[in-house]
């Protein structure tokens, strides 16, 4: 074996046991080569730091530390770290004083513990009360926020109704307003209706009466009928007494030839599909 | 506290000192082990065994014989390479295998100064390794990380044995010079 060939691989820790033994025997006989080997080892150990570190999973350390803690050496070290009790001999007056002081101290200790316990219980009770109060206040705040949202929605709805009423009043009060009355077909001959068209020709109010109640899955729908056929002017809500009002807006209402009301599935249709219950010419 | 001082405490049974050494070095050791065995779970098993031996053999550690890290990495490498030989698994060249390996990388725990120290040391080593001729670097890595014998390296690289010897010697010498140039110091 050639030591010059083996030495770098010894530094790289990449020799067989036999080869390593040969190198170690050589080094023992030639201590002057130790520094050279140390430099080679330094270079080879640097290779470790070319690698990205990887954090081990926590259980690896936990298992390791548990294994270590179970060794006698760890237990002995832990015992050695515990401060020993004071073995100093006592004089007779010290013993007498302790004999008196210990019960007193014990009593004082119990009293202090009782005070701390009562105080702790009191604080805990106050804390529980305060926590309950905070929770109740939070519930009240949530309730008020809900009420506020509901009132806001009601206010918006009322404002919308007011706007509609004002518009209706303006339409009805204008001297240029046109009003067309029309009635029910043979399906509902008792039905009556009136379409009041505002002077702008694009806003109108439809009022109806005596319309029959419909099933839940049905609705009345109002149509403007022109040369190109019927055009939906909106769903017509009808109250239990058979009356209903619809505010509608459409370009050039007067330009249509006729109006009609039909029975449609809930949600309405793009073209009349059910019975025509009201019809009138414009 | 220096590693060697902590090891004196460990030899007496100080678990806190042992825990500090683990936090300081386990991430780098695990990185090396994974590079050797190409398997994280196996790497963690060997890591645990490595540090167990550090605890168990603490009394035999002699700082006069070398740095703690040299001793630690020697234990880890030998365990890993023994495992490889038992499994008769021969890893491919370190670089290509590392690319194929799916490993969870994360910043090391431990102290900020430990982490910064590792980064500085790694940067210096990488710069130094970057200066090595690739064929010399390959010989060093096959010997160190793949645990190959001189003859196995010759077969793997299709190179005469004498050339492998020369590349190993020159590689270590060039690396030593480059490390000195980049101010590298062993931990």
What's the 3-state SS for chain A?
CCHHHHHHHHHCCCCCHHHHHHHHHHHHHCHHHHHHHHHHHHHHHHHHHHCCCCCCCHHHHHHHHHHHHCCHHHHHHHHHHCCCCCCCCCCHHHHHHHHHHHHHHHHHHHHHHHHHHHHHHHHHHHHHHHHHHHHHHHHHHHHHHHHHHHHHHHHHHHHHHHHHHHHHHHHHHCCCCEEEEEEECCCCCCCEEEEEECCCCCEEEEEEECCCCCCCCEEEEEEEEECCEEEEEEEECCCCCCCEEEEEECCCHHHCCEEEEEEEECCCCCCCCCCEEEEEEC
Q: Given A4, A49, A65, which is nearest B28 (Cβ)? A: A49
Q: Does A13 touch chain B (CB under 8 A)?
A: yes
* Residue A5 pLDDT greater than 50, yes or no: yes
Higher pLDDT, B48 or A109: B48
Residue of B7, B8, B150, B162 for testing the chain A interface, max A β-carbons within 10 Å:
B150
| Mean pLDDT to the nearest integer, A30-53 | 86
Mean pLDDT of A104-118: 76
Inter-chain CB proximity B176 and A43 less than 8 Å:
yes
Region of A210 on the Ramachandran plot (φ > 0 left; ψ -120 to 50 alpha; else beta): left
**Is the sign of the CA dihedral A258, A261, A262, A266 positive or negative?**
positive
Sort out which chain B residues have CB atoms less than 8 A from A52's CB and list them.
Answer: 31, 105
Chain B residues 83-102 with a CB less than 8 Å from chain A: none
pLDDT at A16 over 60: yes
Nearest to B74 among A13, A38, A39 (CB): A13
Reported for B38-43, long-range contacts at CB under 8 A and 24+ positions apart, including other chains, are B38/B91, B38/B97, B38/B101, B40/A54, B40/B103, B40/B104, B42/B83, B43/A54, B43/B80
pLDDT digits (tens, 9 = 90+) for B122-151: 788 888 888 889 999 999 999 998 888 899
A11 neighbourhood in chain B, CB within 8 Å: 172
Confidence of residue A42 (pLDDT cuts 50, 70, 90): confident
Chain A's closest residue to B64, CA to CA, is A38
* Confidence at residue A50, expressed as pLDDT on a 0 to 100 scale: 84
Residue A100 has pLDDT above 70, yes or no: no
Please tell me which residue, B95 or A121, carries the higher pLDDT value: A121
Q: Classify B109 as helix, strand or coil.
A: coil
CA B34 – CA A32 distance, rounded (Å)? 37
- The Cα–Cα gap between B70 and B54 comes to 12
pLDDT higher than threshold 80 for residue B55: yes
Residue (of B11, B7, B36, B40) closest to B24 by Cα position: B7
Query: Chain A window 31-60: which residues touch B at a Cβ cutoff of 8 Å?
Result: 38-57, 60
Q: How far is CA A265 from CA A220, B15, B53, in A?
A: 8, 81, 84
pLDDT at B108: 44
Q: Is the pLDDT of residue B1 over 60?
A: yes
Instruction: Extract the tokens encoding A148.
Output: 């506020």
B22 in Cβ contact with B48 (< 8 Å): no
Q: Kindly report the CA angle at B100 between B94 and B102, in degrees rounded to 5?
A: 110
Average pLDDT over residues B12-40: 93
> Given this model, what pLDDT does residue A105 score?
65
Contact yes or no for B31 and A45 at CB 8 A: no
Residues 6+ apart with CB under 8 A from A240: A213
Question: Quick check: A99 contacting B, CB < 8 Å?
Answer: no
Token couple for B161: 């044995």
Q: What is the pLDDT of residue B30?
A: 95
The mean pLDDT of A16-40, rounded to a whole number, is 88
Output the CA angle B90-B42-B138, nearest 5 degrees: 40
Higher pLDDT, B88 or A237: A237
Of B31, B77, B148, the CB nearest to A54: B31
Q: Name the maximum alpha-carbon separation found in chain B.
A: 51
**Residues on chain B touching A40 (C-beta within 8 angstroms):** 172, 176
Q: What mean pLDDT, rounded, does chain B reach?
A: 83
pLDDT band, residue B48 (cuts 50/70/90): very high
Q: Which residue has the higher pLDDT, B154 or A150?
A: B154
Quick check: B47 contacting A, CB < 8 Å? yes
Question: Which residue would you say has higher pLDDT here, A63 or B112?
Answer: A63
Q: Smallest Cβ distance to A12: which of B67, B129, B140? A: B140
Higher pLDDT, B160 or A90: B160
Contact A13 B144 (CB under 8 A): yes
B156-162, long-range: CB within 8 Å, 24+ apart, which pairs? B156/B93, B159/B135
Q: Which residue has the tokens 């014998």?
A: B149
Residues 6+ apart with CB under 8 A from A197: A177, A178, A179, A180, A203, A204, A253, A254
Q: What is the mean pLDDT of residues A125-145?
A: 84
C-beta atoms of B32 and A51 within 8 A: yes
- Considering chain A, what is the average pLDDT of its residues? 86
What mean pLDDT comes out for the span A212-237?
92
Residue ranges of A 204-233 with Cβ closer than 8 A to chain B: none
Are the beta carbons of A213 and A172 closer than 8 angstroms?
no
DSSP tag of B111: -
Element (H, E) at B187: none
| Nearest in space to B56 (alpha carbons), one of B20, B18, B4 | B18
B71 interfaces chain A, CB cutoff of 8 Å? no
Does the pLDDT at position A238 exceed 70? Answer: yes
Contacts of A49 (CB under 8 A, 6+ apart): B28, B118, B121, B122, B124, B125
Q: Please state, for a pLDDT cut of 90, what percent of chain A lies above it.
A: 34
Rounded to whole angstroms, how far apart are CA atoms A236 and A125? 62
- Give the chain B residue nearest A55 (alpha carbons): B27
Query: What span, in angstroms and rounded, lies between the C-alpha atoms of A211 and A258?
Result: 19
Whether B129 contacts chain A with CB within 8 A: yes
**Does position B96 have pLDDT exceeding 60, yes or no?**
no
DSSP label of B57: T
Residue A96 has pLDDT above 50, yes or no: yes
């Amino acid at each position: 074996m050639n030591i010059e060939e083996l030495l770098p691989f010894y530094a790289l820790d990449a020799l067989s046991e036999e080869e390593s033994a040969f190198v170690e025997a050589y080094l023992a006989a030639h201590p002057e080569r130790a520094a050279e080997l140390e430099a080679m080892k330094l270079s080879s150990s640097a290779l470790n730091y070319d690698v990205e570190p990887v954090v081990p999973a926590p259980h690896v350390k936990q298992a390791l530390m548990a294994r270590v803690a179970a060794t006698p050496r760890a237990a002995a070290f832990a015992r050695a770290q515990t401060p020993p009790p004071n073995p100093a001999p006592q004089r007779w007056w010290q013993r007498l004083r302790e004999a008196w002081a210990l019960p007193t101290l014990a009593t004082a200790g119990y009293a202090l513990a009782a005070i701390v316990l009562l105080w702790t219980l009191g604080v805990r009770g106050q804390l529980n009360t305060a926590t309950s109060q905070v929770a109740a206040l939070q519930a009240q705040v949530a309730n008020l926020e809900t009420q506020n949202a509901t009132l806001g929605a009601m206010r918006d709805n009322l404002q919308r109704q007011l706007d509609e009423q004002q518009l209706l009043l303006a339409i009805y009060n204008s001297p240029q307003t046109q009003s067309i009355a029309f009635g029910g077909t043979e399906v509902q001959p008792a039905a009556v209706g009136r379409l009041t068209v505002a002077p702008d020709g694009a806003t109108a109010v439809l009022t109806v009466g005596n319309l029959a109640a419909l099933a839940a899955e049905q609705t009345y729908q109002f149509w403007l009928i022109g040369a190109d056929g019927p055009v939906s002017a909106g769903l017509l809500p009808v109250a239990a007494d058979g009356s209903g009002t619809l505010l509608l807006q459409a370009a050039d209402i007067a330009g249509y030839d006729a109006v009609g009301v039909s029975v449609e599935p809930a949600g309405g249709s793009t073209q009349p599909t059910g019975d025509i219950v009201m019809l009138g010419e414009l | 506290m220096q590693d060697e001082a902590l090891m004196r405490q460990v030899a007496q049974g100080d678990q806190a000192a042992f825990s500090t050494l683990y936090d300081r070095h386990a991430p780098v050791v695990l990185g090396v082990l994974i590079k050797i065995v190409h398997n994280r779970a196996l790497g963690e098993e060997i890591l645990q065994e490595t540090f167990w031996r550090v605890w168990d053999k603490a009394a035999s550690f002699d700082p006069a014989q070398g740095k703690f890290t040299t001793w630690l990495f020697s234990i880890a490498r030998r365990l890993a390479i023994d495992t490889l030989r038992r499994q008769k698994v021969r890893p491919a060249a370190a670089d290509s295998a590392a690319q194929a390996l799916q490993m969870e990388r994360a910043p090391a725990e431990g102290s900020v100064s430990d982490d910064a120290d590792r980064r500085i040391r790694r940067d210096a080593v990488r710069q130094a390794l970057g200066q090595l001729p690739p064929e010399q670097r390959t010989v060093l890595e096959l010997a160190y990380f793949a645990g190959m014998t001189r003859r196995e390296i010759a077969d793997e690289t299709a190179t005469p044995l004498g050339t492998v010897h020369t590349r190993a010697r020159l590689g270590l010498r060039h690396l030593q010079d480059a490390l000195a140039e980049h101010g590298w110091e062993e931990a």
